[in-house]
Structure 1
Amino acid sequence: MMIENDFDYETRHNHLMIGGVDSVELAHKYGTPLVVYDVSKIREQINHFKSVFEDNQVEYEVSYASKAFASVATYQVMKQENCHIDVVSGGEIYTALQADFPMDKVSFHGNNKSVEELVMAVKNHVGVIILDNFHEISLLNQVLEELNTTTNVMLRITPGISAHTHEYDQTGQVDSKFGFDVESKQAEQALKMVLDNPRMNMLGIHAHIGSQIFEVNGFVMAAEKLVDLSAEWHQKFDYQPQVLNVGGGFGIKYSEEDDPIAPEKFVDAIVKAIKKRSNQKGINLPAIWIEPGRSIIGPAGYNLYTVGSRKDVSGIKSYVTVDGGMGDNIRPALYQAKYEAVIANKANDKPKSTPVRIAGKYCESGDILIQNINLPRTQPGDILAMFATGAYGYAMASNYNLNLKPAVVFVENGQDKLVIKRQSYEDLVRLDLKY
């Protein structure tokens, strides 16, 4: 049975199904809190992106933004789908290596890469290092000279375009910790330094205007600005980028208030804008790269919790408490992010008219996962399933209050597979030393 509401979901015997697997059985088998990914949804979105590029007949890369959720199993799926990935730390590089991911299909981002991380990237032949500041150009040159080698690089620029999104999710405006500013000629200065360095092959330009964006205009403006900059640099320095990397940030549906267009429609608009502008400027059409993370992994994720205590006070919205919270999903506390949920073992039951709050177990008043939701009457032991939790949930998980990080399970075609074990208490103190 398929339920029609803010999120379409399949049920069987009144239980929420995920990837052909009973979510209640998953909760009982692996324990809760539990993070579950429907792998078929991941593959489906990747293929939607690829189809846009192929329909437009342009060279491209779909580069998965690892920071949304990185694990050995995630990188294995990306490898199976012939994806590129972007990484932002030595830890993500190391994890990709454990997955036997092809390093030539890796971009290395970050605004404060260490010498150790740059050495790791260069020694493991990472495909391209995306330079973020002048200090980094100097550090990378030092590493390349010491290792007597070369590498591909891109410049991350700030195009001066602000995304209409949460303040912390805006990264393309001039006042940003990321990238070389275009208007002040920082980007041009950086280009000269790279072009003059025989150890650096200037592959292209990168820009990222923000995250969880619902409007196409900002992406189109940024794409056009990248082409304009390419034309300017072609005229001034006889340099033309082989690649324009337009980043990611395509918004997804988290709650009934969200009304995003399909992520692939953003990409179609970007590609068409670059093709048109390149033709107008008389420059060669570059390869176009995108870096979606949330839009690939977010809708595929579910968080399963067991309901515990309930607090009912006359005239006050009730608190329904679950066995997880801000330790496995910090976004509601950090960004005031909103989510939808169902009682997985009562998935077809009619919700009560009186809304409740879903509270976490952490010792913080702000540990509220959902502020306002109508659910069937809850009982201790019920399983609550939150939708679209696949991005920046487990990736930002902590051991606050010394709670354990949850297990992660991949499901596909009716089969479930444990891909990250639940932490144990022994894991919590493994690195602790007695005083």
Structure 2
Amino acid sequence: MRAHEAGALHADISNRGPAWLHTPEDVNALLPTLWPRSVTRGADGALAVAGLSVRDIAAEFGTPVYVLDEADLRSRCRDFRAAFPTEDVYYAGKAFLCRAVVRMIAEEGLHLDVCTGGELATALSAGMPPERIGFHGNNKSAAELSRALDAGVGRIIVDSFTEIDRLTALARERGVRPRVLVRVTVGVEAHTHEFIATAHEDQKFGFSLAGGAAANAAFKILDEGVLELRGLHSHIGSQIFDASGFEVSARRVLALQSQIRDARGVELPELDLGGGFGIAYTTQDDPATPQDLAKRLRKIVDSECAAENLAVPHLSIEPGRAIVGPSVFTLYEVGTVKNLDGLRTYVSVDGGMSDNIRTALYDASYSATVASRASGAEPMLARVVGKHCESGDIVVKDEFLPADVQPGDLVAVPGTGAYCRSMASNYNHVPRPPVIAVRDGQARLIVRRETEEDLLALDVG
């Protein structure tokens, strides 16, 4: 590439990219919206979380490591509870789930949404009251549904006619009447990545509203009388910043609510508007506060219920990313630094797509900072990459890091609490990192690091 082309690329990335680090004075800065609330840069230049230096974390637990600020996570739970005091807030466990997190969200008064038998097992083993659990999923097996019924799960969100028949048969066998919601596909474009937009018609989730399947599912449940239909459910996608999608979704779901009332004389008492609330991964993201979300959603529902002459149903929402995402950062150690003729510098760390697949899978953007020290060096355009045998093994596509970044430095990537550990893999036979929780200057292991022995123990050939 010619020099002027490289310069133009650098300028373009500088203008549009996620980095905020444009001067030597800024290269050590931390943007508060990207980090757990207790993260600071100390007098020695190293990051600290809840008073504990990342140097000490790396020395005790190794790298890579997911670092969870427990007080931050709990405070975000409380923020949602305060914003939605009369509604039910279901933490979406798919974002990240382990027994310690189950206990935290339970203690903070949240409900829990699970979508597999494994997530249900984790919730129950951690002592989550089953009546505060909701069970999602587009292909729940008979064994999973049986376990949910036997445990007394509070609600099951049905996703297909096959599931309705399956659950009805299991409920009859047990003589129980489980509470269910019908998941409605409302045909709303959520302005997000194709793979995480879940309410358009051509996808696997829910019952189509436009095609009449959603109404027929509700009628089937009501007519058979075995399952207790409590309401309707809509989830339009993930990492959403624009409330207009929720407005359209609520309007369409409540119109169906009105149709059900007119056809069967039943006014369903509940409505779940799902989750997908966005967080800040870069300076270009501007998420709403829980208070703003609550105000907007209530206004939307109140208005649409008035238009349809419906009583306002009991609302529930399902934040996952918005709670755990900002509460976690991943700490890596730099292994190699490779400069490509002034175009870009590749900073290779000891993790990668096995602990954060989102950049490769969704073209997601992240930020990063040198965490073990401050630097007075000039900023340089860098790409933080992993150790895996893939050219797409990118952790942070574009970031300004100090030009003196070197092997042995610690690099921290914020906003990795949601879908990073949950979607982690053993690609290239790399063991998955541990998760630690830090509170009041003390760290505890909540998910241990996998070892090569763990990998070999599963290989029985």
TM-score (norm 2): 0.90
Report Cα offsets for 1:235-287 as digits up to 9, x if no partner: 22111121100000111110122223324422320112112322333222211
Report Cα offsets for 1:1-42 as digits up to 9, x if no partner: x94537464111211111232122111110011001112221
Give the Cα–Cα distance (whole angstroms) in 2 for the partners of residues 257 and 398 of structure 1: 29
Give the Cα–Cα distance (whole angstroms) in 1 for the partners of residues 178 and 106 of structure 2: 22
User: Contact 1:53–1:271 at 8 Å: present in 2 too?
Assistant: no
1:28 aligns to 2:59 (yes or no): yes
For 2:156, give the aligned amino acid: I
For 1:50, give the aligned amino acid: R
1:178 aligns to 2:208 (yes or no): no
Q: SS of the residue aligned with 1:411?
A: strand
Aligned to 1:249: 276
In structure 2, which of residues 444, 449, 452 is the aligned counterpart of residue 417 of structure 1? 444
Worse overlay, 18-27 or 302-311? 18-27
For 2:62, give the aligned amino acid: G
Aligned length: 428
Give the Cα–Cα distance (whole angstroms) in 1 for the partners of residues 423 and 30 of structure 2: 31
Give the Cα–Cα distance (whole angstroms) in 2 for the partners of residues 121 and 250 of structure 1: 27
For 2:71, give the aligned amino acid: S
Aligned to 1:137: 164
User: Contact 1:205–1:245 at 8 Å: present in 2 too?
Assistant: yes
Aligned to 1:362: 388
Alignment of 1:85-100 (within 5 A): 85-100=112-127
Residue 144 and residue 423 in structure 1: after superposition, are their counterparts in 2 closer, same or farther (change >3 A)?
Answer: same
In structure 2, which of residues 131, 150, 166 is the aligned counterpart of residue 104 of structure 1? 131
1:353 aligns to 2:379 (yes or no): yes
**Residue 149 of structure 1, CA deviation:** 2.1
Give the Cα–Cα distance (whole angstroms) in 2 for the partners of residues 166 and 98 of structure 1: 34
Aligned to 1:38: 69
Give the Cα–Cα distance (whole angstroms) in 1 for the partners of residues 391 and 210 of structure 2: 44
Report Cα offsets for 1:112-155 as digits up to 9, x if no partner: 11111111111111111100011111111122123232211110
**Residue 214 of structure 1, CA deviation:** 1.2
User: Contact 1:78–1:84 at 8 Å: present in 2 too?
Assistant: yes
Residue 48 and residue 351 in structure 1: after superposition, are their counterparts in 2 closer, same or farther (change >3 A)?
Answer: farther
Alignment of 1:269-280 (within 5 A): 269-280=296-307
Residue 355 and residue 122 in structure 1: after superposition, are their counterparts in 2 closer, same or farther (change >3 A)?
Answer: same
Aligned to 1:49: 80
Q: SS of the residue aligned with 1:373?
A: strand
Aligned to 1:405: 432
Q: SS of the residue aligned with 1:338?
A: coil
What is the percent sequence identity of the aligned residues? 39
**Residue 424 of structure 1, CA deviation:** 1.4
Give the Cα–Cα distance (whole angstroms) in 1 for the partners of residues 241 and 41 of structure 2: 30
Over the aligned positions, Cα root-mean-square deviation in angstroms equals 1.6
Alignment of 1:9-20 (within 5 A): 9-12=39-42, 13-20=44-51
TM superposition outliers: structure 1 runs of 4+ over 6 Å: none
In structure 2, which of residues 109, 128, 141 is the aligned counterpart of residue 82 of structure 1? 109
Q: SS of the residue aligned with 2:372?
A: helix
Residue 224 and residue 19 in structure 1: after superposition, are their counterparts in 2 closer, same or farther (change >3 A)?
Answer: farther
**Residue 379 of structure 1, CA deviation:** 1.8
User: Contact 1:251–1:263 at 8 Å: present in 2 too?
Assistant: no
For 2:31, give the aligned amino acid: N
Give the Cα–Cα distance (whole angstroms) in 2 for the partners of residues 405 and 357 of structure 1: 22
Report Cα offsets for 1:176-212 as digits up to 9, x if no partner: 2111111211111101111123320001110000100
Runs of 5+ unmatched residues, structure 1: none
Give the Cα–Cα distance (whole angstroms) in 2 for the partners of residues 178 and 4 of structure 1: 39
Q: SS of the residue aligned with 2:198?
A: coil
For 2:309, give the aligned amino acid: G
Aligned to 2:414: 387
**Residue 371 of structure 1, CA deviation:** 1.9
Give the Cα–Cα distance (whole angstroms) in 2 for the partners of residues 4 and 412 of structure 1: 20
Aligned to 2:195: 168
Aligned to 1:121: 148
**Residue 72 of structure 1, CA deviation:** 0.6
Aligned to 2:12: none
TM-score (norm 1): 0.95
Runs of 5+ unmatched residues, structure 2: 1-27
Alignment of 1:224-235 (within 5 A): 224-235=251-262
Q: SS of the residue aligned with 2:41?
A: strand
User: Contact 2:215–2:256 at 8 Å: present in 1 too?
Assistant: no
